[in-house]
C-alpha cells in the first residue's frame, strides 16, 4: 500500500470498529488473515494494541496513542499522494515562462487566461526578455518554456519548437500622412520615404525582416531613427516617419494609421514560436504548450 503499510491502515479500521468481523468487511478481507495481520503488527510495534476477550475488543493505552497518530499519518499520506499526483499530471506545481514583448500583444494574454482557468493551482512565473536571454534561460533550465521569434538562418539549440502564431507586417504611419488614403501600400512606395526602423541589437528579428523586405523589393527608405516596439510607434505618432510593424502591434497607438502592404508573399509572414527542452519533463510546460497551440 503506497507510503503507509497495509497493517497500519488495518489497525485504524479495527480500532474504529472495535470488532474484527466488521473491520474485515470494511477491508474486504476475511477475519483470520486480519487477526494475523494485527498480531504481526503488534509484534513489529513491540506492544499490544488491543485487549481481546470473547465478547469485546478495546484499545490499550498504547493503542489509543497510536490511533491518534495513525489518523494524522494517513491524512498526511493521502494529502501527499494527492499533491504528487497533481504535480505529475500538471495540475499543480510551478511553471516559468519566458517571452518577448511582442508575444504580449496578442498571444500571451489569452493563453495565460485559459491556463489559469484550467490550472489555478500552478504557480505561474513570467520573464520578459530579449530572445538571446530567453534562449540562455531555457538552455540552463531557469525557465520551462519560451515564446519568441526565430531568426532566419540562426544557429539553434536542440529544442522542441512549435509555431503558435503567424501574422503579417503592416505599415504604420502618422495620422496626417498622405498614404492614409490608400487601402494598401505597395512596397515600392516606401522608396525614399522617412521611416523609423528596428534596432539591430534590441530587435534583431524584426531588423532582419525589414532588411530583407527592403532588399528583396529594391527599396531604399530614409531610416531617420531606430528603436524598438512600442517606442517605435510613439515616434511614428510624433511624425518622425513610417514604420513596418507586426499586425498584432496595430492598435497600440490609436492615433497611428495602419495599412497592409500589397504584393508580399507568405514568405514574409512573421511567426511566433514556443520552445521547450526535450529533456524537460515538467507536465505544466506541456500543458501550457497545448494551450498555446489552441490559439
Whole-number mean pLDDT of the chain? 88
- Select the more confidently predicted residue: 257 or 152: 257
Residue 2 has a pLDDT of 40
Per residue, the 3-state secondary structure of the chain, as one string, reads CCCCCHHHHHHHHHHHHCCHHHHHHHHCCCHHHHHHHHHHHHHHHCCCCEEECCCCEEECHHHHHHHHHHHHHHHHHHHHHHHHHHHHHCCEEEEEEEECHHHHCCHHHHHHHHHHHHCCEEEEEEEECCHHHHHHHHHHCCCCEEEECCCCCCCCCCCEEEEEEEECEEEEECCCCHHHHCCCEEHHHHCCCEEEEECCCCCHHHHHHHHHHHHHCCCCCEEEEEECCCHHHHHHHCCCCEEEEEHHHCCCCCCCEEEEEECCCHHHCEEEEEEECCCCCCHHHHHHHHHHHHC
Q: Residue 281 has which C-alpha cell?
A: 519533463
Does the model's pTM come out above 0.75? Answer: no
What's the Rg (C-alpha) of the chain? 32
pLDDT digits (tens, 9 = 90+) for 56-105: 899 999 999 999 888 888 877 776 666 566 666 556 688 999 999 999 99
Residue 121 has a pLDDT of 85
pLDDT over threshold 70, residue 38: yes
- Select the more confidently predicted residue: 74 or 16: 16
pLDDT over threshold 80, residue 291: yes
Residue 3 has a pLDDT of 37
Residue 217 has a pLDDT of 92
Average pLDDT of 203-208?
Answer: 92
Distances (CA, A) of 59 to 9, 16, 26, 38, 66: 15, 10, 19, 12, 10
pLDDT range class, residue 281, cuts 50, 70, 90: confident
pLDDT digits (tens, 9 = 90+) for 154-202: 566 788 999 999 999 999 999 999 999 999 999 999 999 999 999 998 8
Q: Which residues pair with 94 in a beta bridge?
A: 123
Residue 283 has a pLDDT of 86
Residue 181 has a pLDDT of 95
Nearest to 8 by CA among 31, 42, 36: 42
Q: Residue 170 has which C-alpha cell?
A: 503592416
Looking at the chain, the whole-number percentage of residues with pLDDT higher than 70 is 91
Average pLDDT of 140-163?
Answer: 83
Residue 70 has a pLDDT of 87
Average pLDDT of 24-45?
Answer: 91
pLDDT range class, residue 128, cuts 50, 70, 90: very high
Query: Taking a C-beta distance cutoff of 8 angstroms, is the pair 14, 50 a contact?
Result: yes
Amino acid at each position: 500500500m503506497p507510503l503507509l503499510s497495509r497493517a497500519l491502515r488495518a489497525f485504524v479500521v479495527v480500532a474504529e470498529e472495535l470488532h474484527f468481523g466488521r473491520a474485515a468487511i470494511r477491508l474486504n478481507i476475511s477475519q483470520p488473515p486480519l487477526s494475523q495481520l494485527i498480531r504481526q503488527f503488534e509484534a513489529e510495534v513491540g506492544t499490544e494494541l488491543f485487549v481481546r476477550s470473547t465478547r469485546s475488543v478495546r484499545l490499550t493505552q498504547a493503542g489509543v496513542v497510536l490511533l491518534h497518530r495513525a489518523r494524522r499519518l494517513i491524512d498526511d499520506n493521502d494529502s501527499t499522494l494527492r499533491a504528487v499526483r497533481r504535480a505529475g499530471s500538471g495540475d499543480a506545481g510551478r511553471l516559468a515562462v519566458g517571452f518577448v514583448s511582442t508575444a504580449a500583444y496578442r498571444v500571451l494574454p489569452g493563453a495565460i487566461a485559459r491556463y489559469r482557468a484550467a490550472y489555478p493551482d500552478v504557480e505561474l512565473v513570467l520573464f520578459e526578455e530579449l530572445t538571446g536571454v530567453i534562449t540562455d534561460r531555457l538552455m540552463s533550465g531557469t525557465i520551462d518554456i519560451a515564446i519568441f521569434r526565430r531568426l532566419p538562418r540562426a544557429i539553434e539549440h536542440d529544442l522542441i519548437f512549435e509555431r503558435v502564431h503567424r501574422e503579417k507586417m503592416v505599415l504604420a504611419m502618422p495620422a496626417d500622412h498622405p498614404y492614409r488614403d490608400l487601402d494598401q501600400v505597395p512596397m515600392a512606395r516606401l522608396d525614399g520615404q522617412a521611416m523609423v526602423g528596428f534596432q539591430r541589437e534590441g530587435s534583431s528579428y524584426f531588423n532582419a525582416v525589414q532588411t530583407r523586405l527592403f532588399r528583396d523589393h529594391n527599396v531604399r527608405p530614409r531610416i531617420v531613427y531606430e528603436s524598438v516596439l512600442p517606442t517605435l510607434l510613439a515616434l511614428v505618432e510624433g511624425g518622425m516617419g513610417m514604420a513596418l510593424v507586426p499586425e498584432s502591434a496595430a492598435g497600440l497607438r490609436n492615433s497611428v494609421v495602419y495599412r497592409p502592404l500589397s504584393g508580399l508573399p507568405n514568405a514574409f509572414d512573421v511567426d511566433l514560436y514556443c520552445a521547450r527542452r526535450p529533456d524537460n519533463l515538467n507536465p505544466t510546460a506541456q500543458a501550457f504548450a497545448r494551450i498555446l497551440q489552441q490559439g
